Amino acid sequence: MALLSISLSMLVIQGMTVLVTQEFKAIRQSDDKNWQNFSNLLRRELENAELDKVTKYFLYVQTPNGSRRFGMKTGSDDFRKTNEQGQGYQPMIYGVSSAEFSNDGNVVTIHITFSKGGERRFIYAFSNVK
């Protein structure tokens, strides 16, 4: 009886381990997909834009539709696109704990740290600089 009980317990534990592993894999794939969507969207936003200026926390560009600012608003958990004064709200990716910008000439690097852990870098070379 004891051996039957132990073997059934081991089967349940093994099954739970498989389920947890599958959940972690699905979450990771979801995060990767969100990053790919964000990267593609940001590239499309920047491809017709002209680099205006870069500060530690924001990227300013000129587009055919006016000035745009990309970055995080203090206290928020999303990376967003706004007008030059920070008005408007168009989130591009959620779960962000910090985003810092740097540039070397026309090459802009965005270093993003996520709330769940992990970080990514987005690098973009502008062909037009104001």
Q: Report the C-alpha gap between 125 and 105 in whole angstroms.
A: 9
Contact partners, residue 95, CB within 8 Å, separation at least 6: 34, 77, 78, 114, 115, 116
| In contact, 126 and 84? CB cutoff 8 Å | no
| The model's pTM | 0.73
Confidence of residue 10 (pLDDT cuts 50, 70, 90): confident
pLDDT at 103: 93
> Is residue 27 predicted with pLDDT exceeding 70?
no
Question: What pLDDT, in 10s, does the model give residues 41-69?
Answer: 999 999 989 999 999 999 999 998 889 99
Res. 28 pLDDT band, cuts 50 70 90 = low
Residue 107 has pLDDT above 90, yes or no: yes
> Please, are residues 70 and 81 in contact by the beta-carbon 8 Å criterion?
yes
